[in-house]
């Protein structure tokens, strides 16, 4: 149970700026995900927190106390690595008990605590195996148990699922989330997988070139991204360039797009008259059936039948293209003229940004 | 019909022939010779006897020299390990030009001829040599030290030349230890010392074990360095065997001594391997 405050963290290697003023905060018991492509600084941030790297500037505090001067081995954080980093010369039980041995716990206490945490992560019976003798999913659970057994103030997870196959990934992901919630440990989780981030986080920090592009809840990140980069990274997205006409109250803006005028929610800092982009997630678009309020008209240029759904791309008259997903049972044919219904409450207007 | 598999086996033939002609045959020959009676005109006579073995194994003089050889080789191997480990550590962290330079420096003792190297030691450590003169000049000693023709110098010189055989396997083992094992143990609270003791040292054992064996075997069999730097005062098995073979021409006795040395070395190495078996098994990830 701990609050974490990272303020204006900076780190540079020669002329490469790895962290350019990163600020993130975690309330007690929250799971905060650092999401971004490789090289965005998410792992660097985590390694600074763990104490493996020394930041060039900025502040990191846990429960209000700066940890900058505390060496890694005194921070009392649990770290889980992408490649598990199990000690190959120790058995599963020895791996998990290693931190307790360092703390000079008695033999019986070590046995009990190792046994308890092993049943928590469903590893009972593997005590005397060597790491190389168990599967990848089991290895990652050993790594998790090894961190949790020390009751860390903060749990740091660096792409813990990246080396697992898809089925295991799901299983271990929920295990991590369940354990984190049960124990109420504040956690930082690094990943480049947006669906993973969405599913298990309380808060997500989308990172871009050493900065935090947006720090918010998964819902906000997905539905109300501050810029195109965030929208792009967090899922399928359609962007239509448009002109904002006038503010119409309650953070809404009237815009002109693809021959229609719409009132939509927008990024608060947006000014009327500014060039802007409209974000339409595929799930807020629908092909019109008779009698519906059609927003755009266009022609189907691509379609793909996926079984449970079908994807199609629709070219609008003004050159814009919309991707959307429809129910699988009404066939869509390339070349068909269609109307598109927009769920206006889930359209989102952002300033026109660099891609 | 000749199958491809047989042709492949043929590729190994030159090596097999070489080993047979230059190793199996001479050793068989030597074993046989060690059971021959001493000759009067030739190196050995026609009849067979056990007298050389009863003499060699019954005489504390030979046991003493064997013990000195084995202990010296053991000290050389251990000292070599202590000297080499930090070097191997630095080498394992180096890359690019720095690594190439370090490799060259580490191999440098092997790039000097064995005679040149040992005469160098003789010149440096002589009574009025540069080492003594420097120490006297600095006021550290007042009388020159007798360094040459001592067991200590033999050990130092052997450690010097065998360092590469210890550094390279340890360097290899250290390079195979992922950095995040260290990070993981640090994050669990390990001090630098505990990281070394619990993680680095056991995981580098697959380099330490072959290094120790290699240096031990080389040191037991070393001839030139003990002969030149040990002088007449300090006798080792190899120097004594050569003396029997070329000085007194008692080939059967020399052969029996050589076999005594081989057997005891095999025994020591075998025992060491058995004792360290568990350590190796654990570290072999």
Residues B123 and B129: beta-carbon distance below 8 Å: yes
Which of helix, strand or coil describes residue A216?
strand
Q: What is the pLDDT of residue A42?
A: 96
Contacts of A233 (CB under 8 A, 6+ apart): A35, A36, A37, A194, A206
Give yes or no: residues A247 and A329 share one domain.
yes
A85 and A222: one domain?
yes
Grouping H, G, I as helix, E, B as strand and the rest as coil, residue A46 is: helix
Give the model's pLDDT for residue B1.
59
Nearest-angstrom CA–CA distance, A46 and B228 = 60
Q: Long-range pairs for B118-123 at CB < 8 Å and ≥24 separation? A: B118/B157, B118/B224, B118/B225, B118/B228, B118/B229, B119/B228, B121/B148, B121/B153, B121/B157, B121/B228, B121/B229, B122/B148, B122/B228, B122/B229
Residues A18 and A157 in one domain: yes
d(CA A8, CA A20): 8
**Domain boundary residue, one of A168, A203, A228:** A228
Q: Which of A208, A228, A248 is the last residue of a domain?
A: A228
- Do A179 and A265 have their domain in common? no
Distance between B146 CA and the closest CA of chain A, angstroms? 48
User: A266 and A222 share a domain?
Assistant: no
d(CA B221, CA B219) in angstroms, rounded, equals 5
**Same domain (yes/no): A206, A81:** yes
Buried b (16+ CB within 10 A) or exposed e, B243-265: ebbeeeebbbbbbbbbbbbbebb
Same-domain pairing of A204 and A298 = no
CB-based contact, A87 to chain B, within 8 Å: yes
Q: Do A83 and B198 touch (CB under 8 A)?
A: no
Encoded tokens for B189? 């609270």
User: Nearest residue of B to residue A156 by CA position?
Assistant: B187
Between chains, do A75 and B187 touch, taking CB under 8 Å as contact?
yes
Query: Cα separation of A207 and A227, whole Å?
Result: 12
Instruction: Specify whether A141 is located in the same domain as A99.
Output: yes
- Of A40, A39, A71, which is closest to residue A54 (Cα–Cα)? A71
pLDDT above 90 covers what percent of chain B? 81
- Please tell me whether residues A222 and A289 are part of one structural domain: no
Boundary-marking domain end, from A196, A211, A228: A228
How many whole angstroms separate alpha carbon A255 and alpha carbon A270?
Answer: 12
d(CA B123, CA B131): 9
A167 interfaces chain B, CB cutoff of 8 Å:
no
**Closest Cα in chain B to A130:** B282
Give the position of tokens 């570290």.
B283
Residues of chain B contacting A, Cβ within 8 Å: 178, 180-181, 183-191, 194, 198-199, 202-203, 282-283, 285
Nearest to B151 by CA among B80, B243, B79, B225: B225
Q: Are residues A268 and A218 in the same domain?
A: no
pLDDT computed for residue A337 by the predictor = 86
Instruction: Please give the pLDDT value at position A66.
Output: 96
> Mind telling me how many Å the CA of B185 is from chain A's nearest CA?
8
Q: How far is B281 from chain A (nearest CA, A)?
A: 8
Domains parsed from chain B with CATH numbers: 62-283 (1.10.3720.10)
Same domain, A169 and A317: no
Same domain, A106 and A245: no
CATH code at A317? 2.40.50.140
| pLDDT attached to residue B206 | 95
Kindly report which listed range (A318-322, B28-32, B80-84, B238-242) carries the lowest average pLDDT score: A318-322
Name every chain B residue with its beta carbon within 8 A of the beta carbon of A51: 186-187
Q: Do A72 and B283 touch (CB under 8 A)?
A: no
CATH number, position A84? 3.40.50.300
CB contact under 8 Å between B188 and A150, yes or no, is yes
For B8-57, what is each residue's pLDDT tens digit? 888 999 999 999 999 999 999 999 999 999 887 888 888 899 999 999 99
Write out chain A residues lying below 8 Å of B185, CB-based. Answer: 87, 98
The confidence band for B2, taking pLDDT boundaries of 50, 70 and 90, is low
The stretch B235-256 carries a mean pLDDT of 91
Nearest to B183 among A52, A99, A131 (CB): A52
> How far apart (Å, rounded) are the C-alpha atoms in residues B11 and A282?
65
Residues of A in contact with B181 (CB under 8 A): 85, 87
**Which of A308-317, B91-100, B138-147, B228-237 is modeled with the greatest confidence?**
B91-100
Closest-CA distance, A353 to chain B, in angstroms, reads 39
Order of strands across the sheet that contains A321-326: A285-287, A337-342, A296-305, A310-316, A321-326
Interchain contact, B203 vs A88, CB within 8 Å? yes
Low-confidence ranges of chain A (pLDDT < 50): 355
Domains in chain A, number? 2
Task: Assess A76–B contact: CB distance below 8 Å, yes or no.
Answer: yes
Task: Provide the number of CB pairs (under 8 Å) joining chain A to chain B.
Answer: 69
> Which pair of structure tokens corresponds to residue A267?
């990024």
Host domain of residue A268: 236-351
Helix axes B114-125, B130-137, angle to 10 degrees: 30
Flag whether residue A83 sits within 8 Å of chain B, measured between CB atoms. yes
């Amino acid at each position: 149970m701990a609050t974490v405050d990272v303020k204006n963290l900076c780190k540079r290697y020669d002329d490469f700026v790895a962290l350019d003023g990163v600020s993130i905060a975690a309330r007690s018991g929250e799971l905060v995900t650092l999401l971004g492509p490789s090289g965005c600084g998410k792992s660097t941030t985590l390694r600074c927190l763990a104490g493996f790297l020394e930041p060039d500037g900025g502040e990191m505090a846990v429960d209000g106390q700066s940890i900058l001067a505390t060496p890694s081995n005194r921070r009392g954080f649990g770290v889980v690595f992408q490649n598990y980093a199990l000690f190959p010369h120790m058995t599963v039980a020895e791996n998990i008990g290693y931190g307790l041995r360092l703390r000079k716990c008695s033999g019986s206490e070590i046995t009990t605590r190792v046994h308890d945490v092993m049943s928590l992560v469903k590893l009972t019976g593997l005590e005397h195996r060597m790491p190389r003798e168990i599967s990848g999913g089991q290895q990652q659970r050993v790594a998790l148990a090894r961190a949790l057994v020390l009751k860390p103030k903060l749990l740091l997870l660096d792409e813990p699922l990246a080396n697992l196959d898809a089925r295991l990934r799901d299983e271990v992901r929920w295990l991590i989330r369940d354990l984190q919630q049960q124990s109420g440990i504040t956690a930082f989780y690094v990943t480049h997988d947006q669906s993973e981030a969405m599913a298990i986080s309380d808060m997500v920090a989308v990172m871009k070139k050493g900065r935090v592009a947006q720090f918010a809840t998964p819902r906000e990140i997905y539905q109300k991204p501050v810029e195109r980069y965030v929208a792009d990274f967090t899922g399928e997205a359609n962007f239509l360039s448009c002109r904002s006409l006038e503010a119409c109250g309650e953070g809404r803006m009237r815009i002109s797009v693809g021959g229609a005028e719409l009132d939509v929610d927008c990024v608060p800092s947006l000014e009327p008259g500014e060039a802007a982009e409209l974000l339409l997630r595929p799930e807020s678009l629908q092909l019109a059936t008779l009698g519906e309020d059609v927003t755009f008209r266009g022609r189907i240029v691509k379609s793909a039948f996926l079984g449970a759904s079908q994807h199609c791309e629709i070219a609008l008259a003004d050159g814009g293209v919309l991707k959307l997903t429809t129910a699988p049972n009404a066939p869509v044919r390339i070349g068909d003229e269609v109307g598109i219904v927009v769920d206006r409450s889930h359209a989102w207007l952002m300033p026109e940004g660099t891609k | 019909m000749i199958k491809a598999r047989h042709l492949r086996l043929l590729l190994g033939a030159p090596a097999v022939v070489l080993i047979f002609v230059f190793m199996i045959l001479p050793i068989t020959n030597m074993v046989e010779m060690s059971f021959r009676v001493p000759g009067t005109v030739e190196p050995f006579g026609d009849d067979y006897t056990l007298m050389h073995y009863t003499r060699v194994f019954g005489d504390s003089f030979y046991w003493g020299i064997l013990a000195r050889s084995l202990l010296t080789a053991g000290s050389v191997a251990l000292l070599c390990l202590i000297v080499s480990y930090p070097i191997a550590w630095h080498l394992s962290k180096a890359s690019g030009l720095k690594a190439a330079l370090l490799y060259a420096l580490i191999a440098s003792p092997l790039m000097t001829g064995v005679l040149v190297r040992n005469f160098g030691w003789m010149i440096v450590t002589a009574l009025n040599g540069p080492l003594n003169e420097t120490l006297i000049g600095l006021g550290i000693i007042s009388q020159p030290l007798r360094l040459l023709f001592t067991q200590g110098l033999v050990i130092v010189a052997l450690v010097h030349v065998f360092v590469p055989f210890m550094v390279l396997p340890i360097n290899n083992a250290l390079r195979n230890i992922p950095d995040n094992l260290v990070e993981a143990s640090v994050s669990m609270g390990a001090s630098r010392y505990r990281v070394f003791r619990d993680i680095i040292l056991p995981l580098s054992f697959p380099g330490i074990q072959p290094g120790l064996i290699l240096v031990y075997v080389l040191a037991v069999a070393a001839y030139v360095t003990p002969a030149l730097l040990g002088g007449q005062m300090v006798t080792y098995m190899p120097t004594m065997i050569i003396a029997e073979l070329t000085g007194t021409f008692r080939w059967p006795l020399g052969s029996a001594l050589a076999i005594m040395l081989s057997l005891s070395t095999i025994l020591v190495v075998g025992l060491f391997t058995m004792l360290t078996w568990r350590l190796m098994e654990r570290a072999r990830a």
